[in-house]
Structure formats: structure tokens, C-alpha cells
Amino acid sequence: MRILITAGPTREMIDPVRFLSNRSSGKMGYALARVAARRGHVVTLISGPVALRPPPKVSLVAVMTADEMLSAVKRYLSRCDALIMAAAVADWRPRRVRAQKIKKTTGPKVLRLEPTADILKTLRTKKGRRVFIGFAAETERMLVRARRKLAEKGLDLIVANDVSRPDAGFEVDTNQVTLMEASGGVRVLPLMTKMKVAARILDWLEASERR
């Protein structure tokens, strides 16, 4: 299969030295890319800024902002059979990016924000027969919110996890996820390494292609 994977955070600049972002390390997306490439799939990895080496036999596309990630996904989507959106895209960006560093003594008391593009929702009409997999990183009402995202974004599968746990989610090597299918199936996985979680997700994807 030709698999397009996104990973890591995005950064939305405030000025030349400051930005809005999140705690995503990219480990889950990179694990997915590594496992997929080991299984012989053709993998394109669109990555935000992370401190990780690209997996072998993976084509890396480096991006910074949510808009750059959206543009890259649009560019490569037509070449893929499946999209796994594991990136933690920043939800907000400053309305105005300052050309010079904002000084502490003269900086604004209020930072005005605007929403970034919802990549999966934007691309829903271009899905066709491709398999779309998304992630729901939540801190409360995880299953309810994941089920809503699954429907709103037209996904085939959503991977939900509670990122408030110290042993799952951001910046760690383990994860505990629930796989929720558009068909209604729900599979709760135990705590395991992100490489093993990636293998389970790829198992599901490969099985879906055989149906």
C-alpha cells in the first residue's frame, strides 16, 4: 500500500522567536511510519518539527505550520491509498505575526487568535475510496469526543487516547488507546509501546484493504 502519515506538532509563529504549539513529540507517527515501511508499504511521512530521525525507507516531508501541513497532505494525497493523521496540529494561530521580536515592556496584553484549518475535515470530500485514520488526543470524555470526531471528519477509524495519563500520550514511549471504527466496532488496547500500537493500527488497515 501507499500510506501517507503525518506526525509531530505544528508551530504557529507569534514573532521571529516565539510560537504556539503543543507537547507532541512525533513518536506515535514515526512509529507508524517505521512499522509500515518494515512491512513493505510505500510510506510518505509529513512531519512537523521533532527531535527524531526519519525511519529508513521513508520519504520525509518537513513542515512547520498547520497551513504547510495541509498543503503537503493535499499534494501527496492523490498518490496514496491511506492517510493516517497522527500529527497534533495546533488548533489556533495568532491573527498577526510580528516582524520583530516583541519586547517584554511593550508587548500586547492580549494575544488575538484565529483557528487553523481542520485538515481531515477539509479533505473529507477528496477521500474517495481511500482509508482515513485519525487520532483523538483527549483529557476528558474521550470516547464521546472521539466518536463525534469520527463522524464529523468522515473517518474509517479513530485512535482515541487519554493524554492526561503520565504513561500514555505525549513525550513517552508507551500509549494506551481505543480503536473506534466507523462501522461501530470498538477495541480497547492495553498499555503497550507505541511500536506495538502502530502494529495494531497497521493490522487493522491491512485487514480493511482485504475486505
- 22 carries an active-site annotation: yes
Among 21, 22, 71, 176, the active-site one is 22
Query: Which residue type is seen at 142?
Result: M
Q: Which sign does the torsion angle of CA 110, 164, 28, 127 carry?
A: negative
Q: CA torsion angle for 41, 44, 49, 53 (degrees, to 10)?
A: 40
Q: Which of 107, 82, 83, 85 is nearest to 94 (CA)?
A: 107
Q: Which of 7, 88, 94 is nearest to 45 (CA)?
A: 7
Q: How many CB atoms lie within 10 A of CB 125?
A: 8
Q: Which residues are catalytic?
A: 22
